[in-house]
Amino acid sequence: MVAKGDMVYAWTSDAEIAKKAECGGAVTGLLKYALENKMVDAVLAVKKGADVYDALPVLVTDPKDLAATAGSLHCGTLLLSKTVKKYLAGAKDRKIGMTVKGCDLMGLYELSRRNEINMNNLLLIGVNCGGTVSPVSARKMIKEKFGVDPDSVHKEEIDKGQFIIEYEGGHKGISIDELEDEGYGRRSNCRRCKLKVPRQADLACGNWGVIGDKAGKATFVEVCSQKGAELLDKAIKSGAIASEAANPKGIEIRGKVENAMYKLGEKWRNKDFSALKADPWGTINKETSRCIKCYSCIENCPVCFTSADALKKSSYMITSGEVPPNPMFHLRRFAHISDTCVNCGQCEELCPMEIRLALFSHAIRVEGDAAFEPKLGAPAYKN
């Protein structure tokens, strides 16, 4: 009987999923089992679109379509939480199984606190996340640093601290540290992210800690809730998922990697936030003066859900139609979101004017947490 707190190596017994999967296919195999056995009505996952830089969210209701969603897309910078609120009625009318990175999960928690999502209807398979690379920078990095045509790449992965590509004619890996020292690599919000193992999901899955003959062929699954235990237990008993106890040495290694990644996130926070220290308001004011008021940062933020129409109507401090907007436009937005900013990076990633919005709201959140609510300690998730 599987119980909360268990740690196992798991893999799928479905050959089609195994072929496409990242590390043995336990995640897709579990979602397929949940859908086939009506534990969920649909699965929200991510599939490869035109190429490896194109990650598409898909809602699957037919279990046979799930194999196409297997595999990890490290240029998949998309955030699934707002998709649930905007397009899936906050999961209020159906049960949805989802794969979630740490930022997807934190966004869901924040939306649930605002009553926009029914968490009870979600079955959450968390994936550990070392970070994602923006598709545009990934193409540039592959061309300039790897010396490879980005269009010839058919697989990418992040393994043992390296960004690795497979392309027509070979494969190549370069250390993430080296890439990041030269301004390439993960998105800046990902560098600062500290939620590496998403234990607030029902299961937390990843490749860290899988050693020996199962390395690359199984996923390390930590059981984080009763719901997760029930899913894994039933899937194992049915034969959909195979498993064995996690190697104790692997558990130790996973702990060490998680800790090292946490410290790395802290290092990047110090670096990024210190650079702002000299002139925070001057920097924010200068960068936001490029704003063209497209509202993308508002549309895509998981903790903000006004509409462009509502914003236009509330014009005590901001003149409609004015570009760039009065600095109050941004001050008001920061005041509204920053105390719950989850550092998902969507605002910055999707800003057409490349304003470092995530840096600003994340810095405000972290400083605010420390300065104004120190007794509250960490929230339900540690971001």
107: contact with ligand FAD by CB under 6 A: no
Q: Site for ligand FAD (CB under 6 A): which residue of 24, 90, 265, 325? A: 24
Q: Note whether 361 binds ligand FAD by CB under 6 A.
A: no
Q: How far apart are CA 127 and CA 203, in angstroms?
A: 8
Q: Is the dihedral of CA 280, 282, 286, 292 positive or negative?
A: positive
Alpha-carbon distance of 182 to 349, in angstroms, equals: 19
Q: Per DSSP, which regions of 207-264 are E strands?
A: 219-223, 241-245
Q: Given the complex with ligand FAD, which of 45 and 298 has the nearer CB atom?
A: 45
Contact 77, 98 (CB under 8 A): no
Residue 108 corresponds to which tokens in the numbers above? 């869901």
The beta-carbon contacts of 76-79 under 8 Å, at least 24 apart in sequence, are 76/46, 76/132, 77/132, 77/133, 77/134, 77/135, 77/187, 77/345, 77/349, 78/46, 79/103, 79/104, 79/107, 79/300, 79/302, 79/344, 79/346
Least distance (Å) from ligand FAD to the CB of residue 290?
28
The rounded distance, in Å, linking the Cα atoms of 106 and 192 is 15
- Which of positions 69-88 make contact with ligand FAD (CB under 6 A)? 69-74, 76
Among 118, 188, 200, 207, binds ligand FAD (CB under 6 A): 207
Choosing from 6, 8, 14, 28, the residue that interacts with ligand FAD (CB under 6 A) is 28
Distance of closest approach, residue 359 Cβ to ligand SF4, in angstroms: 12
Give yes or no for a cis peptide into 352 (omega within 30° of 0).
no
Name the residues that contact ligand SF4, by CB under 6 A: 101-103, 129, 131-132, 189-190, 193, 195, 291-297, 343-345, 351-353, 355, 357
For the bound state, the minimum distance from the C-beta of residue 180 to ligand SF4, rounded and expressed in Å, comes to: 13
* Given 8, 21, 103, 337, the residue binding ligand FAD (CB under 6 A): 21
Q: Which ranges constitute the DSSP H helices of 37-166?
A: 81-87, 102-113, 135-144
Question: b/e per residue, 103-135, with b = 16+ CB within 10 A?
Answer: bbbbbbbbbbeeebbbeebbbbbbbbbbbbbbb
Nearer to ligand SF4, 46 or 60 (CB): 46
* Residues of span 135-174 touching ligand FAD by CB under 6 A: 158
For ligand SF4, the closer of residues 235 and 344 by Cβ is: 344
Q: Shortest distance, CB of residue 232 to ligand SF4, whole angstroms?
A: 22
Least distance from C-beta 332 to ligand FAD, angstroms? 31
Q: Which of 237, 239, 208 lies closest to 221, judged by CA? A: 208
Residues 6 or more apart from 226 whose CB is under 8 A from it? 4
Q: Tokens at residue 350, please?
A: 């999707």
Applying CB under 6 A, does 26 fall inside the site for ligand FAD? yes
Measured from the CB atom, the residue of 240 and 344 that comes closer to ligand SF4 is 344
The two tokens of residue 28 are 């897709």
Q: What is the DSSP string of 326-373?
A: PTHHHHHHHHHHGGG-----HHHHH-TT---HHHHHHHHHHHHHHHH-
> Which class for 24: exposed (0-12), middle (13-18), buried (19 or more C-beta within 10 A)?
buried
CB 74 within 8 A of CB 153: no
Nearer to ligand SF4, 243 or 343 (CB): 343
> In the bound complex, what is the minimum distance in angstroms from residue 249's beta carbon to ligand SF4?
26
Q: Which is nearer to ligand FAD, 129 or 364 (CB)?
A: 129
- State which of residues 128, 243, 300, 383 lies at the interface with ligand FAD (CB under 6 A): 128
Binding-site partner at residue 218 among ligand FAD, ligand SF4, none, CB < 5 to 8 Å by type: none
Residue 128 interacts with which of ligand FAD, ligand SF4, none, CB < 5 to 8 Å by class: ligand FAD
If binding means CB under 6 A, how many residues of this protein chain bind ligand FAD? 31
Nearer to ligand FAD, 241 or 311 (CB): 241
- Per-residue interface string for the shown chain with ligand FAD, residues 211-250, x marking contact by CB under 6 A: --------x-------------------------------
Q: Which residues bind ligand FAD (CB under 6 A)?
A: 21-28, 45-46, 55, 69-74, 76, 99, 101, 127-130, 132, 158, 205-208, 219
